[in-house]
Structure formats: structure tokens, C-alpha cells
Amino acid sequence: MSRIGKKPVAIPNGVTAAIDNGTLSVKGPKGTLTLGLSDLVTYAVEDGSVAVSPVGQTKQSRSHWGLQRTLVSNLMEGVTNGFTKVLDIKGVGYRAAAQGKNLKLQLGYSHDVDIAVPEGIEIKTPDNTTIEISGIDKQKVGQIAAEIRRWRKPEPYKGKGIAYRGEYIFRKEGKKK
């Protein structure tokens, strides 16, 4: 039995959920999200919640059970509160600036790195060493944060690079004399 899958996902006030043609549509104050439904799991919208249960007792359907419940939960969270990831930039001369639909990064390369912001994602730079990525789709927010971080991962000797806020960077001792 999936401990996560057993719990129904509550539908918050101001949010509507509907199932048609193999998709779950969730509409809330921040926008609308859809999820393609799996054939291995059954979904039911009833009594102000969405219940997810496996079709059979196969290993594959049980493994999809908890995953699909979490994806439905992420839809509810996204249309009510949204998701935010914060990246911190450490290093001399490393800077970031949001310019309209682009993010300009100066990361010690011979050129500036320009990243196009996808639709549905908002990027803010409160100062030149902090990047705030927010949106209603958790997957898109995490994906764009990972793509930005990939340009200069934190290195273990001085800790320079782009790190998630709160991320622990394992530090190594440098060479000794």
C-alpha cells in the first residue's frame, strides 16, 4: 500500500477540478494546469477532493499510484500558491540581471550568457547575486532553475558558482605548502 497514494488530495477553496478525455484540469486563482492521466491509475473527483487508486495490484500500477497522487497535489499547490526557487550566485564578478523576457548572466566567461525565460515563468533579480524563479508549474520552475545552475555549478574549493538557496556545498581543503 502506498502511504502517499492512500491520502486524497483536498481541493482548496476557489479551485475547481474536472476530468475529461484523459486529462485532469485544475483551475485556480493563479491560472489553469492540466495533467495527462495514467491508464494504470483511476481518478475520482468527489467530496471536495481528488482520490487516486491503482487499477490492479501489479508493481507498475502501484508505483504509479503515489507518483500520480503527488502530481495532482502539485497541481493544487501550483494554482493556489505557486512555486518559487531561489538561486544564489557567489564569485567575484559573477552577476545576474533580469531584462524583460531574458536573463543576462555574467559568470566569468568571455561572453555574457543570455537565457530566454519560458512562458509561465517569472524571473526576478532583487540584487545582482540573487535570482528568484517563480511560476505555477513545479516542473518548469525546477527545470529552468537547473538550466541556470548548469552554467556554473558550485565548485568545492572556494564555493564559487550558482547554488540553490540553502544548498550545502561540500568543501574540500586546498593544497598545502
Beta-sheet strand order (sheet of 41-46):
9-10, 49-54, 41-46
CATH classification at residue 133: 3.90.930.12
Q: How many domains does the chain have?
A: 2
Q: pLDDT value at position 104?
A: 95
Q: pLDDT value at position 62?
A: 87
Q: pLDDT value at position 3?
A: 81
In a domain, 123, yes or no: yes
117-154 tens-digit pLDDT:
999 999 999 999 999 999 999 999 999 999 999 999 99
Asked whether residue 14 falls in the same domain as residue 34, the answer is yes
Global pTM reads: 0.88
Q: pLDDT value at position 174?
A: 87
Burial label for 114, CB within 10 Å (0-12, 13-18, 19+), is exposed
CA distances from 15 to 32, 49, 84 (A): 10, 11, 20
Position 2 pLDDT exceeds 70: no
Matching residue, cell 537547473: 146
Q: pLDDT value at position 5?
A: 83
- Of 27, 58, 80, which marks where a domain is finished? 80
Asked whether residue 50 falls in the same domain as residue 13, the answer is yes
Q: pLDDT value at position 1?
A: 60
Position 23 pLDDT exceeds 70: yes
In a domain, 174, yes or no: no
- Of 65, 80, 95, which marks where a domain is finished? 80
- Of 35, 61, 80, which marks where a domain is finished? 80
- Give the domain range for residue 9: 3-80
Asked whether residue 100 falls in the same domain as residue 139, the answer is yes
Q: Pull the grid cell for residue 156.
A: 568545492
Position 25 pLDDT exceeds 90: yes
In a domain, 169, yes or no: no
In a domain, 73, yes or no: yes
53-112 tens-digit pLDDT:
999 888 898 888 989 999 999 999 999 999 999 999 999 999 999 998 999 999 999 999
Asked whether residue 46 falls in the same domain as residue 76, the answer is yes
Position 156 pLDDT exceeds 90: yes
Q: Can you give the length of the chain in residues?
A: 177
93-110 tens-digit pLDDT:
999 999 989 999 999 999
